[in-house]
Every structure is written in structure tokens, then in C-alpha cells.
């Protein structure tokens, strides 16, 4: 017996926003549903009343996936598998999504992806590492009404997809919905682990308030969803590769060009299983400084919005002077911070309040080292760019 597709409720609006001032067909035409996102059997009926609107997500009347999940990766299968398994357990939604997994400079796992996933899975491979290009490969193939961008090392909680969709409804206007991705707790937690988890060292979740709007600087692609119709033909700027700032720059364009901002929905939770080392953290800051030069070259206005200045000779000269002064103080500060940061959290005071105060004090103490690493990276990239520019000028003569 052929199952009749469920029918959307009265007042149903297309998830891709067809018929709402954006390209596409009207949702209702001459009393009938007429939208390219609906299966033909639904589009040709006069009856479109169901009691429970939640069924529209589970009863299979859409002609396209509801959600396209995009995951760029360069990690081994042991890292990727938990994320895919968590997506497979999104009860009621696992068959309403497609997953696009794009290997970014790494070879795909041989045979490990060949299993009966409850969702459609597309696998891509780009030989040259460029996370923006990997995401663009997926965007060019994605069919979902919503785009959900994930890191390969996050573990979506049960109800994760539903929480993202509900957050878009709650926001009441087009939004980039940011879910919460707390750092995974470790049984042998160190002071440095706690610093990463509870301060703004990497992501500044500690500065956000639930269900409020924030700007493009919070559009972190480890857990972010965007309506496809709002994204339109926009793509990540591949000139920012191999990594960093491609998410921020695209979000900046969405905010400036279309007024689309970030809505924070902590209920859309996905634990982030990425453990930084003390030295690895500062290596990341150096790489961010290098990437900031690429951001200036690709989109000076976005750089200005982010850093409040031009990347001109005055900016570079200030960075040089900062490195010269703070570099002389680096060794003793870094050595002492590393000694404390590596200790188990259990070594700190018994009072939770005192422990929190110590962690916050260490966060403030580490900021000169963070800025030093960033500015060293920026100077290194700026000097390379100046050399390349001079060589190019000579070639043109």
C-alpha cells in the first residue's frame, strides 16, 4: 500500500522561504499548495490541514532535504565517526537531512563510510587544504532549506536538529543561529583546560546571553545554521585559505548586505571534543595573526570592522613596537603560566569561587602572551606580503 505523504498545516510557510519575497513559487496558489520544496502528491491536493505542526518535520512531505549538514574535515576516522553517529541518532530528523562530508587536504577514509546511514551522505575530497573551498564544494551540492555548518569534532546532543529549527522560528526573522558547543570535560582536567572552557581564550561563549542577537564575530562555523534562501549565491572567500576568518567574513557580508545577524540558541548543543595544549594554543594565535593579513587583502572593510583600524604602516609599526617590548618579558611569564596551567584543577583551592577567581586571573595574565603571538604572526605575514609585492613590482618593470 502506497503511503500518502503527510500534509502541511494551514498557514504553513516553506522552509526555503519560497513565496516570501524571495525567489521561488508562491506557497499557496488558487487554494492549493504550490512550492518546489513539496512532493507532487502534496502539491496537488486541496486538503492541507493537520493538527500537529511538528509532524511536518517527520512525515516526509518535503521534496528536498530539510537540512544540509556541512562538515569539512582533515581528521582521522576516529574523530569523524562520533559526529556522524550523533547525527544518525537525531530522532525524527535523521531522514530529513543530508550530510556533506568534505575531506580538506586529507584522503577519505577507505571503506569506513560505507555503512547504512539513515541520512543521505555525500563525500568530497579536495587535495589542497582550504576550508573555505571545502565548504563551497558542499554548498554547491547542498539541497536543504537550511544549511548547518559543523566542526568534525562536535557531538550533537539528542534534539540538536530540532533545536536549530525551533530557534529559527523563535528568532522571528532571518538569522544565523549559533548553537552552544561547550568544551568536553576531561577526567584529568588541568588548569589550562578550565581556562579554555570558561573564558574567551578561543570562543567567547561566556560573553553571550541566551536568545539574544549578536554580531557577525560570533558566527562560528562549529555549530551554526543559516536559511539557504538567505545565504543565496554567497560563498566563502577562498582567498582566506587555508583556514581562519572565512566564517567571520561571510557572516560580515550577510550582516552588512542583508541585515542578517547571529541569534544565540544554547539549547542547540553539541559538545566540542578538542583539547588544546599550552603551546598549541599560542601556535594557533600566531596562525590567526597570519590569517589577519589575508583578511585585510581579501576584505579591508571586514578587517576594519573587526580590528577598528587599517592594516597600514602605523598598524604594523605598533605591532613591531609591541613585540619588541613584550618580547623581553615573555620568557618568565610564559614559564610561570605554563607551570600553573599544567597542574590538575584538583590542586587549586577547595572553594569553587576561589578556583573560578584564580582561573579568571590567569586568563587576564595570559593576554600579553596571546597578543604577542598574534602580532608576531601578523608581522611575519605582512613582511612576506611586502616582499611579494616588491618582487611583483620588479617583474612588471
Q: Which of 9-18, 115-124, 139-148 has the lowest mean pLDDT?
A: 9-18
Which pLDDT score, from 0 to 100, does residue 225 have? 97
Which pLDDT score, from 0 to 100, does residue 13 have? 56
Which pLDDT score, from 0 to 100, does residue 349 have? 79
Whether the predicted pLDDT of 244 surpasses 60: yes
Write the pLDDT tens digit of every residue in 123-144: 999 998 999 999 999 999 999 8
Which pLDDT score, from 0 to 100, does residue 268 have? 97
> Span 13-26, mean pLDDT?
44
Whether the predicted pLDDT of 65 surpasses 60: yes
Which pLDDT score, from 0 to 100, does residue 21 have? 39
Which pLDDT score, from 0 to 100, does residue 64 have? 58
- % of the chain beyond a pLDDT of 90: 68
How many other C-beta atoms are found inside a 10 Å radius of the C-beta of residue 272?
A: 21
> Span 108-118, mean pLDDT?
78
> Span 293-313, mean pLDDT?
97
Cell 599560542 identifies what position? 282
Which pLDDT score, from 0 to 100, does residue 22 have? 35
Question: What predicted TM-score, i.e. pTM, was given to this entire model?
Answer: 0.83
Which pLDDT score, from 0 to 100, does residue 148 have? 97
Which pLDDT score, from 0 to 100, does residue 4 have? 41
Q: Which of 21-30, 77-86, 141-150, 301-310 has the lowest mean pLDDT?
A: 21-30
pLDDT confidence band for 302 (50 / 70 / 90): very high
Whether the predicted pLDDT of 50 surpasses 60: no
Whether the predicted pLDDT of 182 surpasses 70: yes
Q: Which of 52-56, 236-240, 316-320, 379-383 has the lowest mean pLDDT?
A: 52-56
Which pLDDT score, from 0 to 100, does residue 122 have? 92
Which pLDDT score, from 0 to 100, does residue 188 have? 95
> Span 9-32, mean pLDDT?
45
> Span 370-380, mean pLDDT?
98
87 vs 112, more confident: 87
Q: How many CA atoms lie within 13 A of 30 on its CB side?
A: 3
Sketch the domain layout of the chain as residue ranges.
1-63, 67-272, 278-396
Which pLDDT score, from 0 to 100, does residue 231 have? 92
Whether the predicted pLDDT of 354 surpasses 50: yes
Q: Who contacts 307 (Cβ-Cβ below 8 Å, separation ≥6)? A: 292
- Whether residue 242 has a cis bond before it, omega within 30° of 0: yes
Write down the CATH number for the domain with range 67-272. 3.90.550.10
16 vs 332, more confident: 332
pLDDT confidence band for 7 (50 / 70 / 90): very low
Which pLDDT score, from 0 to 100, does residue 96 have? 78
- Report yes or no: 138 and 100 within 8 Å, Cβ to Cβ: yes
15 vs 358, more confident: 358
Q: CA-to-CA distance for 342 and 329, rounded, in angstroms?
A: 20
Amino acid at each position: 500500500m502506497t503511503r500518502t505523504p503527510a500534509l502541511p498545516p494551514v498557514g504553513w510557510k516553506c522552509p526555503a522561504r519560497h513565496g516570501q519575497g524571495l525567489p521561488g513559487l508562491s506557497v499557496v496558489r488558487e487554494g492549493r499548495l504550490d512550492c518546489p520544496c513539496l512532493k507532487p502528491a502534496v502539491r496537488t491536493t486541496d486538503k492541507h490541514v493537520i493538527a500537529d505542526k511538528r509532524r511536518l518535520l517527520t512525515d516526509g512531505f518535503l521534496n528536498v532535504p530539510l537540512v544540509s549538514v556541512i562538515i569539512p574535515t582533515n581528521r582521522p576516522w576516529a574523530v569523524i565517526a562520533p559526529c556522524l553517529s550523533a547525527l544518525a541518532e537525531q530522532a525524527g530528523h535523521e531522514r530529513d537531512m543530508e550530510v556533506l562530508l568534505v575531506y580538506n587536504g586529507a584522503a577519505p577514509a577507505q571503506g569506513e563510510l560505507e555503512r547504512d546511514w539513515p541520512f543521505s551522505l555525500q563525500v568530497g575530497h579536495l587535495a589542497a587544504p582550504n576550508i573555505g573551498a571545502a565548504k563551497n564544494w558542499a554548498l554547491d551540492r547542498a539541497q536543504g532549506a537550511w544549511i548547518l555548518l559543523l566542526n568534525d569534532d562536535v557531538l550533537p546532543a539528542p534534539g540538536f536538529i530540532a533545536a536549530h529549527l525551533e530557534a529559527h522560528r523563535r528568532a522571528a526573522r532571518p538569522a544565523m543561529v549559533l548553537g552552544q558547543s561547550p568544551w568536553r570535560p576531561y577526567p584529568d582536567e588541568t588548569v589550562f583546560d578550565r581556562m579554555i572552557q570558561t573564558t574567551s581564550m578561543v570562543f567567547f561563549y561566556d560573553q553571550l546571553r541566551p536568545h539574544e542577537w549578536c554580531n557577525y564575530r560570533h558566527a562560528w562555523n562549529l555549530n551554526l545554521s543559516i536559511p539557504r534562501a538567505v545565504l543565496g549565491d554567497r560563498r566563502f572567500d577562498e582567498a582566506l585559505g587555508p583556514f581562519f576568518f572565512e566564517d567571520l567574513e561571510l557572516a560580515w557580508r550577510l550582516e552588512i548586505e542583508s541585515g542578517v545577524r547571529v541569534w544565540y540558541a544554547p539549547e542547540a548543543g553539541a559538545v566540542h571534543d578538542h583539547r588544546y595544549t599550552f603551546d598549541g594554543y599560542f601556535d594557533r594565535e600566531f596562525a590567526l595573526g597570519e590569517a589577519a593579513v589575508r583578511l585585510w587583502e581579501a576584505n579591508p572593510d571586514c578587517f576594519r570592522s573587526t580590528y577598528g583600524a587599517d592594516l597600514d604602516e602605523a598598524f604594523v609599526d605598533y605591532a613591531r613596537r609591541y613585540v619588541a617590548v613584550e618580547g623581553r618579558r615573555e620568557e618568565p611569564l610564559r614559564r610561570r603560566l605554563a607551570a600553573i596551567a599544567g597542574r590538575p584543577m584538583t590542586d587549586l583551592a577547595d572553594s569553587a569561587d576561589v578556583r573560578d577567581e584564580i582561573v579568571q586571573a590567569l586568563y587576564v595574565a595570559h593576554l600579553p602572551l596571546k597578543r604577542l603571538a598574534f602580532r608576531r604572526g601578523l608581522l611575519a605575514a605582512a613582511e612576506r606580503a611586502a616582499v611579494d609585492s616588491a618582487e611583483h613590482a620588479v617583474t612588471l618593470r
